[in-house]
Amino acid sequence: MKKVGWIPIGDRNTPSTRIMCLNVSDWMNKNGIESDIIGSDLTRLGLVDTVIFQKIFDGPYQELAKDMKKRGKEVIYIIDDLYPEGIPMAKIADKVVCGSEYIKNWISKYTDAKLYVINDAYETPRDFFKPVHPRNEAHPLRAVWIGTLLHFPQAEELRPVIEGEGYEYVTISATPQATKRWSLETVWTDWIDSDIMVIPYLGRLPDYEMAKGNNRLTQSMVLGVPVITSPIPAYIPIIRQGKNGFICFNNTKEEFALYLRMLKNHDLRIKMSHQARKDVIDAYSIDAVGNKWKEILEDKIEIESDKKKIILYFPPVSYLTELDKGYHRFPYAVWSLVPGLEKAGYGVQVIDGRVDDKDALFRAVASRRRPLFVGISSLTGAQLLDATKTAKKVKEINREIPIVWGGWHATLMPEDCANQPFIDIVVSGRGEEAVVRVADALAKGEKVEKIVRAELKEVFPPSGLDRVDINKYGPMFGYLTSTGCAWHCTFCAIQQVYHGKMFFKPMDQVISELQYIVNNYKGLRQINIDDDLFFIKKDRVIEFCDRWNNYGGVPMSVLAHTNIMVSYDDEMWRRIVKAGFRHILIGAESGNQVILNRLKKHQTPEKMLKFVEMTAKYDLTPELSCMTGFPDSEELNDFKDTIMFLKEAGLRNPKTVFKLFYCRPFPGTELYKEFLEKGHYMPRKMSEWADYTLRHAPNWVSRELEDKVNFFTYQFFPQVGWNYTWEEFIMNFEQVRARGKIIGPQGL
């Protein structure tokens, strides 16, 4: 067995040194591994095989680490904070031991060393457990906070909440302002003399808090003191909400107050105390931690990132209009997969190709610590261009890394995806549970089917909003309160996937996550409720409106269906306005009833105009999404009917805005099959679908109709607004076209 020498940053009064080094070194000496705390006596380094540096990063130590490697000694570096100064040491080391998955993902960008995560062991004896204290008016319930001077202001910010709920509040820290002075001799008895522990970091968690390890949480749990905490990533896989503790995912005082009230219940508090202790007493013991160190020293642990690290990539679209630039929707498609993977023990790195450093993906797959797989999610259309290019480059760097393909295109055309040489596994359908099965199989070296079909379920994991700087998205921030749609429009991919079913996110989660967005997004201009049919359940809409009540004063936009909106009475419309909705979009699609019937929209131009009138009555902005360019558009005059319908809408509500797209049915839909049967060319493989966009004319659209659409959208309407006739449009169109001055979509 190798002899180990430690060079720690502090002494026994330094918590990280005591927990990560001294306690582990003591365990090693008791379990057959020679271990020596070298400290400043560097002469003893000649007697060891492995040198472990804890957190130190000064230049002389970097030179010492290099010298140790030249002498054939193994160098291990321990890092448990986001210190950029520690990067050079991590680059020198053979192995890096991280205090959390967050740190491991961060440091992986800078080093090719083998990376491991070792959790902190609790420090108290196994039989040291909180007694049940009788509580009454003379001896109220006690909440405790333990921490450093840096975090003391956060602890004090929560004091009015805690004391307002009737608790005695004890703070323990080295700062003189704390209720009790921190001391290694007294901290454990002070801790178990409390009924609950709070770990607050109100508001948006800074990166250095996101990187924190498990220590305070698991130490409190093994003592039997239930914890109410902010959503620190290392805590999320440990806490089972309401079973062994509480996480305030929205990170507000109101959440802390709610869980403080719940824990006044004696039976719940005792049950949670015993469950918390049971969940951590073995997994976070010094024996568990020591044995993991032993396996690392003996090289018995395969490189963790081979088996445990997963990269999820969200590609950008291949074009952006000026309006699109700076407005990126939050990538729920990939973040929805993270909670399940992390709960199963995997470390997940999300890379958003629109706002993140994409090269981080290529550096990761090029390192010795290749990920278990790279997951890519893509819509049908222009997002496929970058997605396929990225997948091919990953394979060029390391062909052994599996590419797992998911998202809408994988669901609509799984066989097409499976036929691509750069795709190894296709997940078709909602992937929250299926991706965990894929990861488990790959980690065990088991064969995975080429196409994994996921069952359609009501799955709404935490959105991941608290795991990333949401200010990278927006300033109009999209959010889903439900998935699916009850209508059966013949061109729409949603019907193809959900078959008329809908799944609704719990309202508590909706309110909590939306509040998090409002509280943490700086400069938020609008929230977009992106549900395809938000207003389908009237009782649910009423509950949302009454609970949300224009929280934060941020205006909201929402998608709707004509028939539902015109069925609402004035009381319902007033409730919608009071809640903060200012912009309502409907899929108007066409001003031609034949087209509307073909699309199975179950609406009429007259009903849509009535909807527009209602928005005018309540000073709302209606947005009408329309399409043209059907194979028989010119025969049916649908373009004329549509722009004249838009004119009438604009006259009834001058705030009306519109989008005008081309008819492009999605794969597998009823309209797609109809177009194929009639001999119209439709994409059949991924390379063709990558050029599929609603803003470019399909091959069956005549050049004249394409010019009319472009002229109306980009030249005529911006000049005249709603004041036009069809004859005026045609006259202006022919004059401009004769001069060859038709302008198409810019920047597309």
* pLDDT above 90: percentage of residues in the chain: 60
The 10 Å Cβ neighbour count of residue 241 is 12
The CATH class of the 474-700 domain is alpha beta
Specify the CATH number of the domain 142-280. Answer: 3.40.50.2000
Mean pLDDT, residues 534-549 taken together: 95
In the numeric block, which tokens belong to residue 350?
A: 């999300």
In the numeric block, which tokens belong to residue 5?
A: 């020498």
> What is the DSSP secondary-structure string of 671-688?
HHHHHHHTT-----SHHH
Give me the pLDDT at residue 523, please. 86
Mean pLDDT, residues 471-475 taken together: 82
User: What's the alpha-carbon Rg for the chain, to the nearest Å?
Assistant: 30
Q: Where are the domains of the chain?
A: 4-117, 142-280, 304-453, 474-700, 702-741
Is the domain covering 4-117 a CATH 3.40.50.2300 domain? Answer: yes
> Is residue 303 scored above 60 in pLDDT?
no
Whole-number average pLDDT of the chain: 89
Distances (CA, A) of 645 to 424, 559, 563, 662: 48, 20, 17, 17
Least confident window among 298-312, 348-362, 383-397:
298-312
Give me the pLDDT at residue 70, please. 93
pLDDT in tens, 372-386: 999 999 988 888 999
Give me the pLDDT at residue 304, please. 43
Q: Are strands 74-79 and 246-247 parallel, antiparallel or unpaired?
A: unpaired
Choose which CATH entry (3.40.50.2300, 3.40.1280.10, 3.30.70.270, 3.40.50.880) describes domain 304-453: 3.40.50.2300
pLDDT in tens, 675-717: 888 888 788 788 888 877 777 788 888 999 999 999 999 999 9
Asked if 674 and 405 touch (Cβ cutoff 8 Å), the reply is no
Closest CA to 622 of 661, 663, 576, 665: 576
Domains 142-280 and 304-453 share a fold: yes
> Which residues are within 8 A (CB) of 631 and not within 5 positions of it... i.e. 6 or more apart?
675, 678, 680, 700
Give me the pLDDT at residue 698, please. 83
Fill in the amino acid letter for 462.
P
